Amino acid sequence: MASGKRDPQPGDLIEINRGIYRHWALYLGDGYVLNVTPVDEGAPSLLVSTMSIFTRKAKVKKQLLKEVVENNDWKVNNKYDQSHTPLPVKEIIQHAELYIDMEVPYDVLSKNCEHFVTMLRYGEGVSDQAKIAIGSMLAVGAVAVASTVLVGLLRGKSREKEY
Q: What is the pLDDT of residues 47-58, one digit of tens each?
A: 544 544 455 889
Q: Is the pLDDT of residue 135 over 90?
A: no
pTM of the complete model beyond 0.95: no
The sheet that has 32-37: what strands, in order across it?
73-76, 13-17, 22-29, 32-37, 57-64, 103-105
pLDDT of residue 40: 61
Element (H, E) at 154: helix 128-162
Half-sphere exposure of 7 (CA within 13 A, CB side): 5
- Catalytically active residues are 23, 113
Q: What is the mean pLDDT of residues 81-102?
A: 97
Q: What angle do CA 106, 83, 115 make, to 5 degrees?
A: 5
Q: What is the mean pLDDT of residues 146-159?
A: 58
- What's the CA gap between 130 and 10, in Å, rounded? 25
